[in-house]
């Protein structure tokens, strides 16, 4: 099944140059980026919070600005060479307004990023009832020579795209697997997702054992899925079926395993997303041993990065992703950090770089102690969208029990905690009680609140 192809250019004339990058113009960058729901403004959506009255031109403009600014931070003035995007809305009114894809491509061009070829992660010719709500989108400054879709169970199709770089083919698998990383039931679907991908990879390897490819995107699985959920899941998609691996291929025969680039980083630096107090690694770039040989494309050792920028897509203090919100005209960025890696074609084997094969036995806790140390005293003037997620020291009076909230200054602010012990302490307060402590600024159902991370955040 073929996906749509296009190339955006200026002045009607196309001349291909090797994309320049600071430091080494003969290398190129691949980015995997879940943008967290980029939708158009036609009001026709499978998600209720993107219907008319909930999301419009202003919100779309702020969302596009966040994406474009992040990509410029990652790849410079013209952006990364290859981008694997997830959570782009499928266009349900193609004859009405610009689609989310078209809006993004226009914004990129207006801001000097690209030019890009692109492929959609769904088939517009299919009946609408077969379309997913959102799809994967692959952008490339290099020519696209082939593309196909691989339908998977209860998730977005895997988008396979082959690009040509100075005469060499490079195949990219853009993924967005079934969500619910901690759910054993959802893992059964991710196992099927992994099997489809693994089967296709094996077909390519059988035909061309030294083929250059990579797997990227949001697999909704942690790099250590099989270890973290050992008691709940007999097997996992990413580790047991796709064969994600912790051993760097340099000088080693890892067979059909795929090297997971999270092992380029020490444990304390692994994290692309956060959920209920824990770091996650749902975003991935996995590579085969062929990207360590001297032929075609080579991975550049130690080039793997988590792309986070304080105040833009990273919450100041907590260091977690600055998630997107449609509230207040739209603010934030995404609930996932993008990740990136660099590649080259120099005809020399990839050297052994920093390598950390250690596997965490459980998900790592967010560093709340660091956020507490950076906390500043709350004032009503701090109630700004740019401070979303920032930790403050507060002092107020409980003014409502259900849902619990406090009067602080001239405001009424909600209080909550994801930690059961902390919730018990918090809910033990009565109306009129004084309460002091620390909380990070958040919103719930259109209301501002403080999230109390741990029991030692309440004095």
Detail the DSSP E strand segments found in 17-155.
27-38, 82-89, 117-120, 134-140, 144-150
Residue 362 belongs to a domain: no
* In-domain check, residue 6: no
Mark whether 331 and 372 lie in a shared domain. no
The helix-helix angle for 57-75 and 100-110 (nearest 10°) equals 50
Q: State the CATH number of the domain containing residue 418.
A: 2.40.50.140
Cα separation values, 176 from 85, 97, 112, 258, 369, Å: 9, 26, 28, 18, 33
In sign, the C-alpha dihedral spanning 305, 359, 156, 38 is negative
pLDDT value for 158:
98
Cβ–Cβ < 8 Å for 256, 290: no
Same domain, 23 and 168: yes
223 lies in the same domain as 329? yes
**Is a pLDDT exceeding 50 seen at residue 2?**
no
H-helix segments, 132-257: 184-207, 225-228
Query: Do the domain assignments include residue 38?
Result: yes
In this structure, is residue 2 part of a structural domain?
A: no
pTM: 0.93
CATH (domain of 173): 3.60.10.10
Do 332 and 402 sit in the same domain of this protein?
Answer: no
Contact 6, 118 (CB under 8 A): yes
Same domain, 152 and 46: yes
328/417 same-domain check: no
**Mean pLDDT for the stretch of residues 380-408:** 96
Rounded to whole angstroms, how far apart are CA atoms 234 and 225?
Answer: 11
Find the domain containing 374 and state its range. 368-457
Do 224 and 173 lie in a common domain?
yes
pLDDT given at position 22: 42
Pair 330, 450 in one domain: no
Residue 8 has pLDDT above 80, yes or no: no
Q: Are 78 and 218 in the same domain? A: yes
Average pLDDT over residues 8-19: 34
pLDDT tens digits for range 112-170? 999 999 999 999 999 999 999 999 999 999 999 999 999 999 999 999 999 999 999 99
Residue 32 within a domain: yes
Based on the domain organization, do 210 and 130 belong to the same domain?
A: yes
Any domain includes 3 = no
Q: Is residue 216 included in any domain, yes or no?
A: yes
Same domain for 97 and 182: yes
Q: How far apart are CA 274 and CA 237, in angstroms?
A: 21
Confidence of residue 24 (pLDDT cuts 50, 70, 90): low
Number of domains in the chain: 2
Q: Note whether residue 352 is domain-resident.
A: no
What pLDDT sits at residue 253? Answer: 86
Of the candidates 384, 387, 391, the residue with the CA atom closest to the CA atom of residue 366: 391
Read off the pLDDT of residues 295-339 as tens digits, 9 standing for 90 and up: 999 999 999 999 999 999 999 999 999 999 999 999 999 999 999
**How does residue 14 score in pLDDT terms, banded at 50, 70 and 90?**
very low
- Mean pLDDT, the chain, as a whole number? 93
Task: Write down the pLDDT at residue 26.
Answer: 82
Report residue 147 CA to chain centroid gap.
22
Looking at the fold, whether 219 and 269 belong to one and the same domain comes out as: yes
């Amino acid at each position: 099944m073929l996906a749509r192809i296009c190339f955006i250019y200026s002045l009607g004339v196309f001349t291909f140059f090797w994309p320049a990058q600071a430091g080494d113009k003969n290398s190129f960058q691949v980015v995997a980026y879940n943008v967290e729901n980029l939708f158009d403004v036609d009001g026709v959506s499978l998600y209720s919070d993107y219907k008319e009255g909930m999301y419009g031109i202003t919100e779309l403009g702020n969302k596009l600005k966040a994406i474009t600014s992040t990509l410029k931070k990652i790849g410079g003035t013209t952006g990364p060479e290859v981008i694997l995007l997830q959570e782009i809305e499928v266009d349900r009114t193609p004859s009405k307004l610009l689609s989310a894809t078209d809006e993004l491509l226009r914004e990129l061009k207006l801001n000097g990023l690209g030019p890009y070829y692109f492929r959609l992660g769904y088939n517009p010719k299919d009946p609408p009832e077969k379309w997913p709500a959102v799809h994967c989108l692959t952008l490339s400054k290099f020519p696209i020579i082939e593309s196909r879709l691989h339908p998977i169970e209860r998730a977005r199709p895997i988008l396979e795209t082959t690009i040509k770089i100075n005469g060499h083919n490079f195949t990219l698998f853009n993924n967005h697997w079934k969500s619910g990383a901690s759910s054993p039931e959802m893992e059964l679907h991710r196992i099927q997702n992994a099997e489809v991908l693994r089967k296709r990879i094996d077909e390519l390897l059988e035909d061309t054992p030294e083929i250059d490819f990579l797997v990227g995107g949001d697999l909704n699985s942690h790099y250590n899925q099989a270890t973290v959920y050992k008691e709940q899941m007999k097997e996992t998609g990413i580790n047991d079926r796709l064969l994600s691996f912790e051993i760097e291929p340099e000088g080693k025969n890892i067979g059909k395993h795929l090297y997971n680039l999270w092992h380029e980083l020490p444990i304390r630096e692994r994290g692309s997303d956060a959920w209920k107090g824990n770091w996650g690694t749902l975003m991935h770039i996995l590579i085969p041993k062929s990207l360590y040989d001297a032929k075609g494309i080579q991975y550049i050792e130690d080039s793997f990065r988590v792309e986070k920028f304080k105040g833009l897509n990273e919450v100041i203090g907590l260091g977690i992703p600055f998630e997107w919100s449609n509230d207040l005209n739209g603010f934030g960025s995404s609930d996932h950090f993008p990740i990136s890696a660099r590649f080259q074609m120099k005809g020399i084997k990839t050297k052994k770089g920093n390598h950390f094969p250690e596997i965490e036995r459980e998900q790592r806790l967010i560093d709340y102690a660091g956020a507490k140390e950076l906390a500043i005293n709350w004032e009503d003037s701090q109630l700004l969208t740019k401070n979303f997620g920032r930790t403050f020291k507060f002092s107020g009076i409980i003014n409502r029990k259900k849902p619990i909230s406090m009067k602080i200054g001239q405001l009424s602010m909600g209080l909550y905690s994801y930690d059961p012990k902390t919730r018990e302490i918090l809910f033990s307060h009565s109306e009129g009680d004084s309460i002091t402590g620390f909380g990070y600024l958040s919103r719930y159902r259109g209301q501002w609140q403080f999230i109390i991370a741990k029991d030692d955040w309440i004095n």
